């Protein structure tokens, strides 16, 4: 194996490490956006469903 080929192997390792770091950051950002989105949707949808199920309006804030 020539020295040139061995350098290419090392670059592949660096590229893999960079991809791993970028993936970790992207996962954190995605999770944060998803969590905030679900929280907002629950605040909009749950009270109506609770009232439709027969819960008094005065009890809705206690559950949320």
Average confidence (pLDDT) per 10 residues, the chain, 64 residues: 62 84 97 95 90 88 78
- pLDDT score, position 60: 83
pLDDT score for 7? 65
pTM given for the model:
0.59
pLDDT at 62 (0 to 100) = 84
As a whole number of angstroms, the distance between CA 5 and CA 51 comes to 68
The token pair at 32 is: 């944060």
Residue extents of the structural domains in the chain: 3-63
CA distance 40 to 50: 16
Q: HEC states along 14-45?
A: HHHHHHHHHHHHHHHHHHHHHHHHHHHHHHHH
CA–CA gap between residue 55 and residue 33 (Å, rounded): 31
């Amino acid at each position: 194996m020539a020295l040139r080929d061995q350098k290419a192997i090392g670059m592949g390792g660096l590229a893999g490490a960079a991809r791993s770091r970028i993936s970790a950051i992207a996962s954190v950002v995605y999770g944060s956006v998803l969590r905030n989105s679900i929280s907002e949707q629950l605040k909009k949808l749950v009270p109506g469903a609770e009232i439709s199920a027969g819960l008094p309006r005065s009890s809705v804030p206690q559950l949320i």
